[in-house]
Structure 1
């Protein structure tokens, strides 16, 4: 009888230890942890260029669409400085939404791009 109670108590403690203590980290539907969007160490080479690489189908190669090459820091930083980069990617009014005919980039990717632009669009 004592062994059964100890086994039951141990199982209850182990199951309780698996429970999340932070409900904010869980989605309401299914309890799957929400991945964090880290915007603390955004760099051009490590963050911005890889995000924009998904645009290279149209904005890459020797004849990029609209003459804008996402592989060129000079062109990307110019578009960042004049507001066109974020305007088009955010689908803001007055800008041609990109990707053309497609969904916006993820909220996390957009937050990283905003962070980079806010930092002055450094070539780092």
Structure 2
């Protein structure tokens, strides 16, 4: 993987996180629009955490990339296994989002690996 492919992998992670973030945001906004009331503070916290981690992935943070993956997997585990809410679970959607987030993790690690190598090369060329 080179620097261009690493940036592409990071973009895949950003797209996957944006999809989940927009779905969560729609769960937050639709009751406000149709019922005129704010019902769930947990969704507001969830959207805020998801948006912050997605912005960190956009800034190429490895910690945020891993945080997004773990946050998504833990929430999915809690919904499916602990709460036994399998009616809303879609394996294909889960696999697509998981793939995107793993690509985001790989992209951030390779980006920093190649960025560090380029910085060292620039320093050696100026000496």
TM range (shorter): 0.3 to 0.5
The higher radius of gyration belongs to 1
Question: Which has the larger helix fraction?
Answer: 2
Greater relative contact order: 1 or 2 (C-alpha under 8 angstroms, separation 6 or more)? 2
Task: Give the TM-score of the pair, scaled to structure 1.
Answer: 0.38
